[in-house]
C-alpha cells in the first residue's frame, strides 16, 4: 500500500516537532554540559542558568508533543520502539528528571555543598542525555534487530521473511528482539558523539549570544574549537549514514543543506559573529533532524536482520479518521505553541551581565530547613 496524504502530513509534523526539540533543547543541554567547565565563579554559573531558566520547560513541550503525536498517528511505531528500547528510554527519562530537579532545586537551600551537588548532577545528566539521544537517532538510521512474529510461552517465534505479510494478517507483530547492548554499535556510538558535540557547540554559541563580558569571550573561544570538531565528525557520520544505511535518495537534500549551514556556522563563529553563527547552527540542527528521518524512506523502523521485517509507515499508521481529527487539533494548536515559543524568546532577548547578578544567594539556610522539619513533626 502507498502512503496517504494524511500519513505523509503526520510524518512531516513529527519531524517538525523533533526538530523543534533538538534545536531548542540542544543549547539547553549544551549550557548544562558547560556549567562546570566555562564559568570561573558562582556568579557566572548563575548567569548560565539564568540564560536557560525562562525556556527549558517550554522546550520540553516539543518532546512530549513529538512522543504523543507518534503514539496517536503511528501507534505501532511507538509500541515497537518501546518494546526493545525500554531501558534506554527509561534512562533518558531518569536523566531528564534529574536535570529538572537540578535546575529547580539548586537555589532552594543556601549551601555551597547543596549547589555543587545539583550542578554536578545537572552537568552529568546533560552529557548523558545528549549521548543517549545521539545513539537513539543513529539506531533509527542504522536499523535495529526487528523481527515479525509472536511470543509463545515466553519464547519469541519469528515468521520467515517470505511469510511476513501472512503472519501480520494472522496477528503477528513487529518486535525489537535485540537487548539493550544490541543498540550499541560503532555507528551508533559515533552518532552519540556527534549529537553530544553539536549540542556542546550549540550551547557555547548560546552562552556567547546571551552573556557579555569575559564569559562571552571565553564562550566564543570555546565555540571556535567545538565548531571544527563537531562539523568534522558530523560530516563523517552523515556520509556513513547516507552511503551505508539510507533508504532514500531524498535524504541528500537535507544532508547537503545541513553541510552548507554547518560550514557557514563555523565561518561566522571564527568571524566573532555569535548571533549569526547561532541561528545558522540552529538551522543546521533542524536540517540534521530532517536528514535522519528521511533516511527511513517509507519505513517507520528498519530491521537490521532482514528488510522484510521493516515496519513501514503504512503498517504503523492509525486510521484515517484518527489522522483527520488530530490534524484539526494540530492546525489549531501547533501555531499557538510556535507563536507562544517565539513570543517567549522575544521577551528575553537582552544579554545577561555577571555584574547584575546579586551577591547574596537565594534559598533557606540549612539550619532553617532543619527547624522547619522539627516544627512540622
Q: What is the tens place of the pLDDT at every residue in 27-53? A: 999 999 999 999 998 889 999 999 998
Whether the per-residue pLDDT at 377 is higher than 50: the answer is: no
Q: Give me the pLDDT at residue 258, please.
A: 97
Segments forming the whole domain that contains residue 53: 5-146+156-376
173, part of any domain: yes
Question: pTM to 2 decimals?
Answer: 0.92
As a whole-number percent, the residues of the chain with pLDDT over 70 amount to 97
Residue 14 belongs to some domain of the structure: yes
In a domain, 151, yes or no: no
- pLDDT(84) > 80: no
Q: What is the mean pLDDT of residues 301-305?
A: 91
Number of domains in the chain: 1
Residue 128 lies in a domain: yes
Question: Which pLDDT band, with edges at 50, 70 and 90, does 267 fall under?
Answer: very high
pLDDT at 371: 62
Q: Does some domain include residue 168?
A: yes
Residue 362 has pLDDT above 90, yes or no: no
Would you say residue 353 has pLDDT above 70? yes
Are the CB atoms for 265 and 281 separated by under 8 Å?
yes
131 pLDDT higher than 60: yes
Could you tell me if residue 324 is inside a domain? yes
Amino acid at each position: 500500500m502507498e502512503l496517504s496524504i494524511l500519513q505523509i502530513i503526520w510524518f512531516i509534523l513529527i519531524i517538525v516537532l523533533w526538530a523543534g526539540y533538538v534545536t531548542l533543547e540542544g543549547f539547553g543541554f549544551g549550557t548544562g554540559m558547560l556549567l562546570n567547565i566555562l564559568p570561573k565563579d558562582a556568579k557566572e554559573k548563575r548567569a548560565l542558568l539564568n540564560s536557560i531558566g525562562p525556556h527549558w520547560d517550554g522546550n520540553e513541550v516539543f518532546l512530549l508533543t513529538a512522543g504523543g503525536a507518534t503514539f496517536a498517528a503511528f501507534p505501532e511505531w511507538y509500541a515497537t520502539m518501546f518494546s526493545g528500547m525500554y531501558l534506554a528510554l527509561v534512562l533518558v527519562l531518569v536523566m531528564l528528571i534529574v536535570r529538572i530537579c537540578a535546575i529547580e532545586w539548586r537555589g532552594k537551600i543556601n549551601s555551597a555543598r547543596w549547589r555543587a551537588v545539583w550542578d554536578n548532577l545537572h552537568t552529568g545528566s546533560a552529557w548523558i542525555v545528549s549521548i543517549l539521544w545521539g545513539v537513539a537517532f543513529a539506531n533509527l538510521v542504522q536499523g535495529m534487530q526487528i523481527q515479525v512474529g509472536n511470543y509463545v510461552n515466553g519464547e519469541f517465534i519469528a515468521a520467515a521473511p517470505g511469510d511476513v505479510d501472512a503472519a501480520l494478517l494472522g496477528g503477528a507483530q513487529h518486535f525489537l528482539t535485540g537487548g539493550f547492548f544490541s543498540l550499541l554499535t560503532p555507528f551508533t556510538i559515533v552518532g552519540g558523539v556527534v549529537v553530544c558535540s553539536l549540542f556542546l557547540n550549540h550551547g557555547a554559541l548560546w552562552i556567547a549570544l546571551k552573556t557579555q563580558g569575559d564569559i562571552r569571550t571565553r564562550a566564543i573561544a570555546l565555540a571556535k574549537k567545538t565548531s571544527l570538531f563537531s562539523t568534522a565528525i558530523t560530516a563523517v557520520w552523515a556520509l556513513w549514514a547516507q552511503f551505508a544505511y539510507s533508504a532514500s535518495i531524498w535524504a541528500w537534500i537535507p544532508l547537503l543543506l545541513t553541510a552548507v549551514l554547518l560550514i557557514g556556522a563555523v565561518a561566522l563563529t571564527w568571524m566573532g559573529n555569535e548571533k549569526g553563527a547561532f541561528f545558522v547552527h540552529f538551522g543546521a540542527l533542524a536540517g540534521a533532524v530532517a536528514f535522519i528521518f528521511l533516511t527511513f524512506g517509507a519505513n517507520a523502523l528498519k530491521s537490521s536482520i532482514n528488510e522484510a521485517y521493516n515496519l513501514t509507515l503504512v503498517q504503523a499508521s492509525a486510521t484515517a479518521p484518527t489522522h483527520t481529527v488530530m490534524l484539526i487539533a494540530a492546525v489549531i494548536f501547533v501555531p499557538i505553541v510556535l507563536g507562544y515559543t517565539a513570543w517567549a524568546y522575544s521577551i528575553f532577548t537582552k544579554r545577561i551581565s555577571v555584574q547584575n547578578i546579586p551577591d547574596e544567594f537565594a534559598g533557606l539556610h540549612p539550619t532553617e530547613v532543619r527547624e522547619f522539619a522539627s516544627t512540622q513533626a
